[in-house]
């Protein structure tokens, strides 16, 4: 059986899925760029659909890895409208293609008001209404970037390898703990504020909340319960493009 390969190349990690002839998705791997060359695919590929937000160097790493498959590559760009979704940007191509595809994935699954939070290198928040209109969003430094921003500018602030990623709802009692917990709680605060803005500014009361990205495990239980964990949302959006070809 021939498969289509879907690739979501973020700024930190590369996520992939295989799509079969019926359009079913099967997640394949989620790896760092340094582990990408080791990844093998046992199936023969009919085509490759690629969404990349990273810079030239990482894009070249992805393309070098993909070249072994000798399958045509379709690189997706953000558009003004597609698959029922309308981009809020005046310059639609400027919207990160990962954000664009997450909107398409969400809307085509359930056409309902939806708040999408993708917490990876950066934390992005996007508002999508029940008519498929993207209302706009936010871009915030991701948890790791927040920590790096402080240690890069404040010589007495340091991280250590023993401190975990940090804990929501907890204070710290050492420099690494204060930094880790502070940044995780800043991430949590962004989400609580996004929920508040949805209610107070948009009058949304019945809406879906979708979480994706590597930092979602850090969320406290009440927020995890409020939303759905959807790690494959960008790949799901990519599958709509792959199905039309
Ligand atoms: N086990 C973990 N616990 C908490 N955060 C993690 C964990 N592993 C990775 N992360 C965070 O997830 C980020 C990568 O998430 P990902 O969504 O793949 O990013 P991107 O799409 O930008 O490549 C890392 O920068 C790190 O902050
Ligand atoms: C905001 C992002 C860096 C998020 O990327 P990620 O954290 O998933 O690697 C990416 O969507 C991007 O480069 N966007 C372009 C600018 C914009 O969306 O307006
Ligand atoms: K993101």
Query: For ligand 2, atom 15, which residue shows the shortest CA distance?
Result: 96
**pLDDT, tens digit, for every residue of 157-215?**
999 988 889 999 999 999 999 999 999 999 999 999 999 999 999 999 999 999 999 99
Angle 145-147-152 from CA coordinates, rounded to 5° = 90
Max Cα separation, the chain? 57
Q: Is the dihedral of CA 36, 216, 138, 230 positive or negative?
A: positive
Q: Which residue range forms the structural domain that includes residue 18?
A: 2-75
ipTM over 0.90 threshold? yes
* Assigned domain for 88 exists: no
Note whether 125 and 224 are same-domain residues. Answer: yes
What does the block give as tokens for 95? 């919207």
Last residue in a domain, options 25, 53, 75 = 75
Q: Ligand 2 pocket check: which of 12, 30, 53, 55 to mutate, most ligand atoms within 8 Å of Cβ?
A: 53
Question: What atom in ligand 1 is closest to the CA of residue 213?
Answer: 17
**Are the C-beta atoms of 126 and 103 separated by less than 8 Å?**
yes
Q: What is the CATH number of the domain that holds 15?
A: 3.30.420.40
Taking the centre of ligand 1 as the mean of its atom positions, its distance from the CA of residue 124, in whole angstroms, is: 13
In a shared domain, residues 71 and 118: no
pLDDT tens per residue, range 135-157: 999 999 999 999 999 999 999 99
Other beta carbons within 10 angstroms of residue 163's beta carbon come to 17
Residue nearest to atom 3 of ligand 2 (CA): 122
Shortest CA distance to 224 belongs to which of 214, 210, 235? 210
Active site residue ranges: 98
Token output for 131 = 């008519």
187 with 123, same domain: the answer is: yes
């Amino acid at each position: 059986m021939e498969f289509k390969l879907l690739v979501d190349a973020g700024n930190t990690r590369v996520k992939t899925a295989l799509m079969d002839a019926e359009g079913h998705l099967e997640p394949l791997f989620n790896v760092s760029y340094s582990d990408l060359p080791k990844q093998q695919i046992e199936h023969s590929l009919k085509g490759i659909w690629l969404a990349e937000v990273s810079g030239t160097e990482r894009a070249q790493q992805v393309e070098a890895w993909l070249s072994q498959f000798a399958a045509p590559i379709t690189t997706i760009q953000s558009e003004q409208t597609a698959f029922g979704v309308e981009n809020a940007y005046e310059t639609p191509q400027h919207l990160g293609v990962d954000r664009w595809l997450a909107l398409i994935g969400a809307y085509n699954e359930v056409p309902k008001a939806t708040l999408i939070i993708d917490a990876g290198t950066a934390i992005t928040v996007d508002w999508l209404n029940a008519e498929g209109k993207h209302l706009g969003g936010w871009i915030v430094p991701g948890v790791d970037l927040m920590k790096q921003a402080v240690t890069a500018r404040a010589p007495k602030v340091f991280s250590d390898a023993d401190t975990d990623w940090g804990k929501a709802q907890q204070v710290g009692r050492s420099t690494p703990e204060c930094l880790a917990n502070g940044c995780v709680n800043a991430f949590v605060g962004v989400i609580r504020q996004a929920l508040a803005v949805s209610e107070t500014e948009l009058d949304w009361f019945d809406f879906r909340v979708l979480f994706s990205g590597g930092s979602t495990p850090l969320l406290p239980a009440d927020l995890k319960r409020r939303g759905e964990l959807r790690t494959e949302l960008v790949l799901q959006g990519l599958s709509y493009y792959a199905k039309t070809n």
